[in-house]
Amino acid sequence: MPKGYIVVSYREAPNEENLSNYAPKALEAMKNAGAKFIVRGMPVATFENGIEQRTVIAEFDSAELARAAFTSDAYQAAFALLGDIERDVRIIEGLD
């Protein structure tokens, strides 16, 4: 079964206070759901139409587990602490 990935790109910089409240609770919720964080931070470089956006990629054993983690009550409670922010969130299935 292919791995599943949650890919999050922040369209705007998060409020630092909100981010500091959100991050530990989101990390705990995702890790409890089996997440392994692959990427978290700003790009080292961008090319073509690349955008300087904070990006997070979390790996799960399947896309179904990634979806369950994102929609879980624990993660949604953490997400509420982030406040009003625009993000692009995708769940992508790995190649193998």
pLDDT given at position 96: 79
pTM of the model: 0.91
* Largest Cα span, the chain: 39
The per-residue pLDDT for range 16-25, each reduced to its tens digit, is 899 999 999 9
What is the per-residue DSSP string for 46-86? --TT-----EEEEEESSHHHHHHHHHSHHHHHHHHTT-S--
What is the sign, positive or negative, of the torsion defined by CA atoms of 31, 20, 55, 80?
positive
Instruction: Return the CATH class of domain 4-93.
Output: alpha beta
The per-residue pLDDT for range 50-75, each reduced to its tens digit, is 999 999 999 999 999 999 999 999 99
